[in-house]
Structures are given as structure tokens and as C-alpha cells.
Amino acid sequence: MSNGTSLLSQPAVHDHYQNSKARLLLFDWDGTLTPIVQNPEDAMPTAADIEVLKKISSDPENEFWIISGREPKFLDKHLGLIKSISLSAEHGAFVRRSHHFDWEETSDSADKMWQSTIMTIFEHFTSKTRGSWIERKNTAITWHYRNAAPEESVIHTEECKKRLEMVISGSLPNLEAINGKMCLEVRPRSVNKGAIVRRILEDYTQDQGQRTAPGFVLCVGDDVTDEDMFHAVRNSNLPADQAFTVSVGSPSKLTAASWYLPEPADVVALLYQLASITEDSQEEL
């Protein structure tokens, strides 16, 4: 882990992208392709963003994934009509591959007995923290406090995290409590973005030479849940100079990524640039 990443070298990205015949692009959603907003339902792509996502994902040399903590229904609603994009929901618990309309569950989420215990804790802190709310997903429970008073949320978040960790260490060791962007989430340890990225990379080797291994990988995310993606890419067999792991935010942030971009707007701008390279290449054919 490093807390001194360098600004992404865009010329290097452009060069490797242009000269690679197989590319894998892995992007988080909230805080990466869209800014963090007060109401999570407002984190929607613009019409222009949809067009650039269609353009870059329709390049036959590209495999494009959105790997998000969102539920399948949210990703279906806003990105589901882009057939050439593969989607991963709830940190890899569900996947919908490009040109398919059905979601595949990747984890065994049948055992949900733990949820009532965690809900009791979150409900207690929701009642104490005005403006906070609980989001109950298929495989996780998230307590959001972005609309709460900062003074209250700081104190109550620390108390809540301690209570969760005490319960988890005592009787629910298969769970983990993680701090996201203005939220606390509890989920099974087996469900994380690193696991789905490892699975995507393993698919190349299991296809027995039917697919060319990626010569360019771009992996971009902004918070602690995305660190699992960065580790998966960096610990793979991919040559280091072909894999670009990029954290969105401050260069001083502790991260496993090799590079950083300051804002989601910079990530979107990069996508537009890569889409232009794709468009120019297709026109030359």
C-alpha cells in the first residue's frame, strides 16, 4: 500500500491502449464515473456519458466492466440497455455479462440469518443520527450518514463500527464491516470486488486459447472497496507495464493503486479520449 501515488500518465495510457489488441477495462461507478451526491439515486449517467460508454464498450478489442456496490436493479435501470457492457453488482455478488439480460449470482447468499442482528445495530444508530438511513441489499446492509450532521455522524460512526466489530468477532466471523464513502457496510467476507476481478482474469486462461489475454488493463475506483480490485490486478500474472490501477481522489490517500486522478470528471475525460482512439482506429479499417 502506498500513500504517495503519481498523477496518471495519460500519454502512457493512450499509447498502450492504442497498441493493444485485447483490452480489459474495469470501472467502479459511484465516486469514479459519477460524483458522490447527497441522494444516491441521483448518481445517473448523462446522455453524453451513455454514448461514450456505448462507443468504447462496442469496440471488439475491449471487454468493459462496471463493478459497483449498487444493486442489480439500479445498474439495469441506468446502464442495462448498453448491451456491450458487463455489469457486476453488490461488489461482485451478481454479474450480468455483455449481450446477456439475466443476472448470475456468484455467491451463496441463502444464509441471511445474520441480517437481523446487523439491522438491530444499524436501526439503533439511525434513531440516534438524524438524516441517516439504512439500505438493505441482497447480500449486504449499508448504513448511510452523508445527510447527517457532521458532528453527530463522526461520533456515532465510530460507536457503530466498534459495536459491529465486537459482534462480528464474537459470533459472525464470516462477515466484515467496512467504511465506504459516508457509509458503513456489512457483508460476507467472500463478497468483494477482488474476487470478481480474479474471476474475470481467470476466464482468459480457462478459455484454452480461444481469447487473447489482455495486453492492456485499466482498473479505476475511488474507495476502500475498490482496493480489492487493485490488489487482484497487481497480484495477477499481467506484466506491470500493461496494467494501470488508478485511485480517484487525493494523491496522499493510502492505496494499492499505482496512479491517481483527482476527480470523477477526470475519469470521464479519459474515457472520452480512449473512445476517440477507438473511433479513429475503426475509421481506418
C-alpha cell at 276: 476517440
Q: Is the pLDDT reported for residue 110 higher than 60?
A: no
Which residue would you say has higher pLDDT here, 209 or 183? Answer: 183
Span of 68-72, 90-94, 109-113 with lowest mean pLDDT: 109-113
pLDDT digits (tens, 9 = 90+) for 121-141: 999 999 999 999 999 998 999
- Which pairing describes strands 104-105 and 133-136: parallel, antiparallel, or unpaired? unpaired
Q: Tell me phi and psi for residue 125, to 5 degrees.
A: -80, -25
Q: 3-class SS at 96? A: strand
β-bridge pairing 6-7 and 104-105: unpaired
Do residues 166 and 108 touch, judged by C-beta distance below 8 A? no
Nearest to 68 by CA among 10, 137, 122, 11: 137
Q: Which residues contact 167 (CB under 8 A, 6 or more apart)?
A: 117, 118, 121
Confidence of residue 209 (pLDDT cuts 50, 70, 90): low
* HSE, side-chain direction, 13 A CA sphere, residue 221: 29
End-to-end CA distance of the chain: 42
Q: Is the pLDDT of residue 168 over 60?
A: yes
* pLDDT value of position 187: 94
pTM of the model: 0.91
What tens digit of pLDDT does each residue of 240-264 get?
A: 889 999 999 999 999 999 999 999 9
User: Considering the chain, what percentage of its residues have pLDDT values greater than 90?
Assistant: 80
3-state DSSP helix/strand/coil % of the chain, to nearest 5? 40, 20, 35
Name which residue leads in pLDDT, 116 or 213: 116
Give pLDDT, residue 30: 93
| pLDDT score, position 121 | 98
Better-predicted residue by pLDDT, 278 or 12: 12
Residues 45-89: tens digit of each pLDDT: 999 999 999 999 999 999 999 999 999 999 999 999 999 999 999
Helix, strand, or coil (residue 6): strand
What number is the average pLDDT over the span 215-230? Answer: 96
pLDDT at position 109, please? 57
Partners of 74 in beta bridges: none
Phi then psi for 208, rounded to 5 degrees?
50, 50
Q: Is the pLDDT of residue 108 over 70?
A: no
Q: What pairs with residue 186 in β-bridges?
A: 141, 177
Helices (H) and strands (E) in the chain, counts: 8, 13
